[in-house]
Chains A and B, each alone.
Chain A
């Protein structure tokens, strides 16, 4: 190819060698190598937690690496803050949209770089400059004068991208830019990215969706466990190669031995459940004594599905029954708890625990009946009962009265699990139960889940970590873009087929994930 010779002559736009970063005991990045060239779209691929976002945060100056070297435009590059990264010519388009909704499109695009005349804002020049950038997108409804609050989500995404362009960057970082876009807007975005690429700008593109990566990317780098495991040109590899590189890790041997007692008695049955934009027509049966896993990438709708089942989000349609008894779709969590359902949030600090309350209070929060009489709490009994539950999951706390905020992340997660034990539920909905806990705690959580199932409970577990799903589940279903596949016995899945279904990729000519919304 002609451009490969010119590429060889030019030094890379961005060169990352052996970059490392750890947070506490977690190694987020453990030796990442990356080369991005001018006028190319470089896709970074990897599972959740592989280190993609950490890498972008380092490149955009939000966090500093612990080691390794980065060169940008031939010069050493170690930005101390996002402003310096921007001044050096690196623009970061975040996954979440961060616009000021009350300001106009032009004000948002030129925020911090407003054209001035003798200290006064030059409104006309501002609208004119913003208009020039917007023209690249050819979006009829989008004018510089619009208020951002009145725009749709894809339109806001475009404004976000225009804001990055206003700084005349030579490298643009895009973190899942299509996650909130419809297909037609995705095509516009891609056309736009190609225009940028052809004008000589380098682009780093992160996406979970392989077909998207194939459509827009030139080169790729696969990250796994914070390391670069494979890189090259996309046209030289197959989807199967990429998926193997992403998964490619032996299942750890610390999963409890399967001693399945699953019956055919359905304890939780969900039919045609739809909720908001995230969940479409989901159906499954959870049997007594089994562990049913749901796998999906971030944003696939797994969390939303659990929330709708538990009554935290209002479902739009479908039915949920526990032990054959139908529950009101809009009944709220209290009806679920009364029916014997327990829920563990993926967001422990945000919606799981009350951090300023004591361990004992947090554990008994869903069920004060065990230790109260006529509304009066028997404090000694509360301490005793919650201590039993805390000990059952090995909570390490100086006392039951210490506020949860002083415990480590792993211990906080155990408190959240102890709450479910104390609640006495029979149907466990666990959303990412091992998120943010160390390996030792993970093992204990797996053992707890297995023993819960053995003793006749039913466990539904949502996780983005494939090895644990393969280690503890009896059956598995995969969620992709809001659609849930039928649940199948775990032996019928391989990590590769799960990932294919989750990504919506079509490797063998048959799509496992079923319908994909257009």
Chain B
């Protein structure tokens, strides 16, 4: 949406309050709708809604959810990152290589995350210093990171020894009191932390200001360049963490994994109410967006529908979600 087209004359605080609730509740309603539809369609609603299936869906959501946390911060700031799929592969391979080299699992995990952060920092530098628009800078990085992943892995999957790092994405974890996969807890913690960061810190306010009006942000004395470096680096760290989760799920480092995942991540943010023109979005919304897509995938699988049907449905949902968001926003034109 284009903020400058909003007529300042329309002052309807009550309607705006209603719209704000709709904006927050909208993705929730979407999620309930998706779950409801599949419960009805499915011959066996109990199976779709079973605790076991919910655990599977949540475990499947972890990678996209972690990526969506980083992407939400980037998109709120008015940016975009197309590299997460490649970064997930690269950091997964780095983490696997570290494990194979007998590094302690925690160190291997940190190595994977650090690689993601470094890639993000480089994206930030090319955006601020080389003045390449984010779309192009990260499109370039999509190729570079994927190539690096293939190079350092010798274009082969990297097998890893059995450590606790392999059980991050197990839907039925061994200490059964965990209830859901450890990765789900990690993603939830990261999401809560990011939501607080965006809502309650000066950094978060600056991110929103940057996306809402970059010129005004600069005039208010915000170091917009430095801020972008932080934003893309934090995003990169989270994509790196998603990569470690991906490796844990596959139990090997695979340089060809997660092709196109960046689009799922962006879709999750957009379904959750994020605006590609910046200044708008929420972690909670993005998490629900990620779950909507996971439930869709899972539902289609349970129904036995082929892959291409899933792709068509998810594609349609993305457009519908954004169209619904436009309807909820007053005074905007396409």
Contact surface of A with B, Cβ cutoff 8 Å:
24, 310, 312, 332-334, 336-338, 343, 345, 349-357, 361, 364-366, 368, 372, 375-377, 379, 398-399, 402-403, 405-409, 411-412, 419
- The reply to whether B280 and A354 form a contact with Cβ atoms under 8 Å apart is no
B3–A408 CB distance below 8 A? no
Chain B residues bordering chain A, tally (CB within 8 A) = 30
Q: Does B47 contact A (CB under 8 A)?
A: no
Known: A333-B219, A349-B3, A406-B11. 6 other contacts (CB 8 A): A310-B219, A334-B223, A350-B215, A355-B6, A399-B13, A408-B8
Residue of A312, A353, A368, A419 touching B218 (CB-CB under 8 A): A312
Q: A116–B213 Cα gap in the complex (Å)?
A: 45
Please tell me if B170 contacts chain A, counting CB pairs below 8 Å: no
Contact: A405 with B13, CB < 8 Å? no
The interface bits of chain B over 1-14 (1 if a CB of A lies within 8 angstroms of the residue's CB, else 0) are 00110101111110
Residues of B contacting A411 with CB < 8 Å? 11
**Complex partner residue of A398 from B13, B209, B213, B221, CB under 8 angstroms:** B13
Query: Contacts A333-B221, A349-B4, A407-B11 known; A354 to B200 CB distance under 8 Å?
Result: no
Q: How many A-B residue pairs have CB under 8 A?
A: 106
Asked whether, in the complex, the Cβ of A355 is within 8 Å of the Cβ of B202, the reply is no
* Residue pair A357, B9 in contact (C-beta under 8 Å): no
Chain B contacts for A372, CB-based, 8 A:
201-202
A481 to B7, CA, bound (A): 34
Find chain B residues with CB under 8 A from A334 CB. 221-223
Q: List 30 A-B contacts (CB under 8 A).
A: A310-B219, A333-B221, A334-B223, A338-B221, A345-B219, A349-B3, A349-B4, A351-B215, A352-B216, A353-B216, A354-B208, A354-B212, A354-B279, A355-B4, A355-B6, A356-B3, A356-B280, A361-B205, A366-B220, A377-B200, A377-B205, A402-B13, A405-B3, A405-B6, A406-B11, A406-B13, A407-B11, A408-B8, A409-B9, A412-B8
A355-B4, A406-B11, A408-B11 are contacts. A376–B208 as well, Cβ < 8 Å? Answer: no
Tell me if B217 counts as interface (CB < 8 A to partner A).
Answer: yes
Interface set of B (CB-CB < 8 Å, partner A): 3-4, 6, 8-13, 16, 200-203, 205, 208-209, 212-213, 215-223, 279-280
Interface of A is mostly: mixed
Whether A357 and B209, one on each chain, are in contact in the complex, defined by CB atoms closer than 8 angstroms, is: yes
* Contact of A375 with B201 at beta-carbon distance under 8 Å, contacts A403-B16, A406-B11, A408-B8 already known: yes
Cα A357 to Cα B210 with chains together (Å)? 11
Shortest distance between the CB of B10 and any CB in chain A (Å) = 7
Instruction: Identify the interface centre among A351, A356, A375, A376: most chain B CB within 10 Å of its CB.
Output: A356
Q: Which of B203, B212, B222 has the most CB of A within 10 A?
A: B212
How far does the alpha carbon of A210 sit from the alpha carbon of B200 in the complex, in Å? 56
Is the CB–CB distance between B219 and A312 below 8 Å? yes
Q: Can you name the residue of chain A whose Cβ is closest to the Cβ of B218?
A: A333
Distance to closest chain A CB from B3 (angstroms): 4
User: Please, which residues of chain A bring their CB within 8 A of the CB of B215?
Assistant: 350-351
Q: Are the C-beta atoms of B216 and A354 separated by less than 8 Å?
A: yes
Residues of chain B within 8 A of A349, CB atoms compared: 3-4, 8
Most B CB within 10 A of own CB, among A312, A351, A354, A379 = A354
Provide the bound-state CA to CA distance between A364 and B217, in Å. 12
CB-nearest residue of chain A to B196: A376
Selected from A310, A355, A361, A368, the residue in CB contact (under 8 A) with B3 is A355
**Complex alpha-carbon distance, A419 and B216, angstroms:** 12
A368, B202: Cβ atoms closer than 8 Å: yes
Pairwise interchain contact B217-A354, C-beta atoms closer than 8 A: yes
CB distance from A343 to the nearest CB of B (A): 6
Sorted nearest first, the 3 A-B pairs with minimum C-beta distance are A398-B13, A354-B212, A334-B221
Closest to A379 in B: B200
B223's nearest neighbour on chain A, judged by CB, is A334
User: Which of A337, A345, A355 has most B Cβ within 10 Å?
Assistant: A355
Indicate if the CB atoms of A337 and B208 lie closer than 8 Å.
no
The distance in angstroms between the C-alpha atoms of A351 and B4, with both chains bound, is 11
Give the distance in Å from the alpha carbon of A312 to the alpha carbon of B222 in the complex: 12
Least CB distance, A321 to chain B, in whole angstroms: 19
Which residues of A are found within 8 Å of B205, using beta-carbon distances? 357, 361, 364-365, 368, 377
- Expressed in whole angstroms, the Cα–Cα distance for A403 and B19 within the complex equals 12
Q: B3 contacts A376, CB within 8 Å?
A: no
**Contacting residues, chain A, for B279 (C-beta < 8 A):** 354, 356-357
Whose C-beta in chain A lies nearest to the C-beta of B225? A332
A403: which B residues are within 8 A, CB to CB?
16
> Roughly how many angstroms separate A411 CA and B205 CA in the complex, as a whole number?
22
Residues in chain B near residue A351, CB distance under 8 A: 213, 215-216, 219
**Chain A residues whose C-beta falls within 8 Å of the C-beta of B223 in the assembled complex:** 334
Closest to A382 in B: B205
Say yes or no: A377 contacts B209, CB within 8 Å: no
How far, in Å, is B137 (CB) from chain A's closest CB?
23
Minimum distance in angstroms from B183 CB to a CB of chain A = 28
Q: How far is the CA of A375 from the CA of B218 in the complex (A)?
A: 19
